[in-house]
Structure 1
Amino acid sequence: MARRMFELVEPIGVIPYSADEPNEAMFALGFTNYWDTYFAGRAAPLGIVPAEVVDALFYNFAPGEVARHIPKVWRTTTPAAAIAARQSGCANALQRILGDHVGSPAFARAAELLTRAATSAPVEGRPMYAALRALPIPDDVVARLFHAASLLREHRGDGHIAALMIEGIGGLEAHVLLALNLGMPAERFGRIHHLPQAQLAAVIDGMRDRGLIGDDGGLSDLGGAVKQRVEARTDDLAARPYESLSPDELHELMAALEPLASLLLAASD
């Protein structure tokens, strides 16, 4: 259930990174590059905190990457302005892509049920989720759907980091694990391909020394088992919000989200 909900909610939650309108709204604040908008938009609910805090919570950036943007971005705008711009840009993108669905009763019901689920889970041990939960729920139905999806995305992300830590997988190692699980050389994976060759080689060598990577450069049996356990535990930890809904409500929510997810996935291709 949690995996299926992830598949349906994730296309909404990633709209800041898959559509133009959110970036345009953030650029209007004075930013000039994408990664400034990423860190300002996602870190804004935390308020103005040191780079070390953002680095710890985001987990999977190379040393020094976060510090190139935090706290510099707060010389350009404020957390409150970044939150508002991100929200309005994402709502505009959803309205454009989803069209007439936005005004339907099914959309309003999806926003209601998703928001109830997204605001029902405990915040203990979920720092990114807790920060986002502290923000007001938007009145606009489209912004509310995005906000709910963002809450669920950060809730799942907090749990995913816990699952990685249990298995002893570091932030950069998580990218290597995912790349190899997809059958892609780590050196070509989007989130780490830019790293200095020696730095990435050291990460890969360390995973090979621990038996996670085989002689052929792919995941070993142990590496594959670790990846499976991480994903299974992430799903288990992501299930709590949906326990607030009855089976009928959950079925109704899935049915309402399916056409929206299909349109969003098609728009991102």
Structure 2
Amino acid sequence: MSHPEPVARRMYDLIEPIGLVPYLAEGSDDDLMALGLRNPWDAYFAGRAAPLGRSVPAEVVHAIFYSFAPGEVARHIPRVWDLTTPEAALAARERGCVAAMRRILGDLADGPAIARAADLLLRAATSAPVEGRPLYAALRALPVPQEPIARLWHAATLLREHRGDGHTVALVAEGVGGTEAHVLHALSVDMPAHKFGRVHHLPAAQLNAVIDGMRTRGLVGADGWLTPAGRATKERVEALTDRLAEAPYNALSPAELDHLTTDLAPVSATLQATYPW
């Protein structure tokens, strides 16, 4: 069904803290690292790229992930598959994320709200078309965990990657490249690009070249901050991302969405309170 008002942004705020467990929850990548991986970025790429399989080359992973600077993916893919397998990485990622959620949520992890939310969220997460969404499609092909808290994390991951695939479409439509997307976001929240976590490590000349290109296109001003055109571009990207993320929630009735919101709120708030932001 189609809801009278958009719900994707509201659901994003509730689901994103669950989807961020692999990247922000303490200890969530311990099981991945135990497979013999060399560093946390190995764990990131092994865990997130595993649904694509070991034969997908770095160039394809780079295209799907979109937001990494040239060469960054190739430092880890396919090398991580010399150390472990996609199957082992998937299992380790799930174990680590579920353990981290249990530790953070405490008694809430086994409460009835988790099972209710997992069932509703999974129905939404498995209902959307897969066309044009490669990472979401790869995740849809995986078995669904049976444990409620694992099922909740899996559903949130599906929805996060569904939204992410759509976000890439929105960026491409606006002509915003992967590294430019990070600059656009940083400047939109009044943070200098060179301090933003996803690009601060880049050589100054490389990052400055990206910013200069955005300045030439009128997105960044002479003062180094977004122009009105730059802010309008960011707003259009976010608006299209939200519109493209609506489809999964059409599988739920307004009443089911209200129940889901109620059940997810304490879970998301508890997780978010532990993250370093």
Is the TM value for this pair above 0.5?
A: yes
* Letter aligned with residue 146 of structure 2: D
Aligned match of 1:122: 129
User: Is 1:10 paired with 2:30?
Assistant: no
Query: What is the count of residue pairs matched by the alignment?
Result: 269
CA distance in 1, matches of 2:193, 2:21: 25
Equivalent of 1:23 in 29, 32, 37: 29
User: Is 1:87 paired with 2:94?
Assistant: yes
> Where does 1:1-269 land on structure 2 (aligned, <5 Å)?
1-48=7-54, 49-269=56-276
Secondary structure of 2:202's partner?
coil
How far off is 1:31 after superposition?
1.2
CA distance in 2, matches of 1:182, 1:188: 12
**TM-score between both structures, scaled by the size of structure 2:** 0.96
Secondary structure of 2:212's partner?
helix
Contact 1:22 / 1:85 at 8 angstroms: preserved in 2?
no
Unaligned runs of 5+ in 2: 1-6
CA distance in 2, matches of 1:116, 1:98: 23
* Letter aligned with residue 64 of structure 1: G
* Letter aligned with residue 51 of structure 2: P
* Letter aligned with residue 39 of structure 1: F
Show structure 1 runs of 4+ deviating over 2 A: none
How far off is 1:255 after superposition?
0.6
RMSD: 0.7
* Range with greater deviation from structure 2 (37-46 or 93-102): 93-102
Contact 1:57 / 1:128 at 8 angstroms: preserved in 2?
yes
Unaligned runs of 5+ in 1: none
CA distance in 2, matches of 1:216, 1:248: 49
* Letter aligned with residue 68 of structure 2: F
